[in-house]
Amino acid sequence: MSGDDGLSPDQAVREIGRVDRRVGEASRGPGRMFLILGLATVVYWPAMFLGSGPMPLVAGGGWVVLTIATSVYWWRQDVYSHRLMKVNRQITVAYVAASLVTFAAGAFLMPERPTTGWAALIVGLAVITGVPPLYAAWRLMRTR
């Protein structure tokens, strides 16, 4: 910073604080997106594997809409904070791994007519799969 920009040290500190708050506020939007993703995940997997009639089709259609919406949201982001990118990397790895386990259990291991134990397993795996984005939402939306 040069001495001829007209900012006193106190004004510079206030400006830094203002910019920091703006970046922090920018991570709340992705936090809400992670919250929606986590909650939708907990509903999606049981609907896909345990639902009857049109429920799996509706869940699949909803998932496609959610995927498109989140992709557009990430593409349109203006502010990329270090904190957001770090959380996103960590959560993505955990979420994809948990999703693969849940998919494999439901698609390849679950019997055609699941027992109560299988239903409980699918619901439990859905909750576990939803935890990474819910954790990301908590981290991004809490005050710093």
List the domain boundaries for the chain.
29-141
Helices (H), the chain: 9-26, 28-50, 55-75, 82-104, 116-141
pLDDT of residue 47: 98
pLDDT of residue 5: 65
Whether this model's pTM surpasses 0.75: yes
Q: Are 129 and 99 in contact (CB under 8 A)?
A: yes
Can you list the residues of the chain whose pLDDT is less than 70? 1-5, 19-27, 78-80, 143-144
pLDDT of residue 112: 93
pLDDT of residue 13: 80
pLDDT of residue 141: 84
